């Protein structure tokens, strides 16, 4: 009887272990930040970098995808895969990090309670995986950036950045890799554009 009870407990623990593995959620981030390029122009002024804003449907760690071939207006999310934080928070961290790496004047946020020469606002408009067929998908990242001269309270420049990147596989992992690549290109473009426009405005 004791041997039977021991065997039953072992089988129960094995089943629980397998069930936990099956239901485990995989968490992703954007990967390691790239090193600053020596050719990147320096930012000589101080910049207040606001947290990136995003629509309410992106205000969660869910990985969003759409089936264009079925119902393009419907937003779907993966059940067992998610981001480590909402997309806007991940992108804000990356944006501040890359701007700080080329800044001589300093990069600040609202919590610093310090006056900056310029403010940078970014609005994330799209950040999802789009399936054009059941076998092929692409990452779509769209963000609008605005630079404001704080002293003049005027808009210096505004631009919308759109990047699409094909996913290597039609699943969550493929979508994450493509979204990480596309968002990296968007952040690179915003950083380069910001540095150029600030240099022009100071002339």
- Per-domain residue ranges for the chain? 29-201
Do residues 145 and 193 lie in contact, with contact meaning Cβ atoms separated by under 8 Å? yes
Q: Identify the pLDDT of residue 36.
A: 67
**17 pLDDT above the threshold of 70:** no
The predicted model scores a pTM of 0.85
Mean pLDDT of all residues belonging to the chain:
87
Instruction: Evaluate whether the domain defined by 29-201 bears CATH number 3.30.450.20.
Output: no
Which band of pLDDT confidence, cut at 50, 70 and 90, is reported for residue 181? very high
Give me the percent of the chain exceeding a pLDDT of 70. 87
The dihedral sign for the CA sequence 38, 40, 42, 47? negative
Please compute the mean of the pLDDT values over residues 127-144 and round it to a whole number: 97
List the single range of 5-14, 137-146, 171-180 with lowest mean pLDDT: 5-14
Is a pLDDT exceeding 50 seen at residue 91? Answer: yes
CB 86 within 8 A of CB 77: no
Question: At 68, phi and psi to the nearest 5?
Answer: -60, -30
Sequence-distant (≥ 6) Cβ neighbours of residue 88 within 8 angstroms = 51, 52, 53, 54, 58, 59, 124
Query: What pLDDT, on a 0 to 100 scale, did the predictor assign at position 6?
Result: 44
pLDDT in tens, 92-125: 999 999 999 999 999 998 877 778 999 999 999 9
Report the candidate in 133, 140, 137 with the shortest Cα–Cα distance to residue 87: 140
Cβ(47)–Cβ(107) under 8 Å? yes
Pick the closest to residue 172 from 123, 122, 127, 129 (CA basis). Answer: 129
What per-residue confidence (pLDDT) applies to 43? Answer: 92
């Amino acid at each position: 009887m004791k041997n039977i009870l021991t065997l039953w407990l072992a089988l129960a623990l094995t089943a629980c272990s397998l069930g936990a593995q099956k239901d485990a959620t995989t968490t992703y981030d954007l990967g390691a930040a790239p090193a600053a390029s020596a050719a990147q122009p320096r930012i000589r002024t101080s910049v207040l970098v606001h947290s990136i804003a995003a629509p309410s449907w992106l205000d969660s760690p869910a990985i969003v995808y759409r089936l264009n071939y079925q119902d393009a207006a419907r937003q779907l999310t993966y059940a067992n895969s998610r981001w480590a934080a909402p997309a806007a928070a991940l992108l804000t961290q990356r944006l501040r990090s890359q701007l700080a790496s080329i800044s001589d004047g300093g990069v600040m946020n609202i919590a610093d309670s310090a006056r900056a020469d310029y403010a940078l606002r970014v609005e994330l408009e799209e950040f999802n995986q789009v399936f054009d067929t059941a076998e092929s998908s692409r990452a779509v990242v769209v963000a609008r950036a605005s630079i404001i001269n704080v002293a003049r309270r005027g808009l210096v420049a505004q631009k919308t950045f759109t990047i699409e990147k094909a996913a290597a596989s039609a699943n969550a992992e493929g979508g994450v890799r493509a979204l990480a690549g596309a968002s990296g290109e968007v952040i690179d473009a915003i950083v380069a554009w910001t540095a150029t426009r600030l240099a022009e405005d100071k002339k």
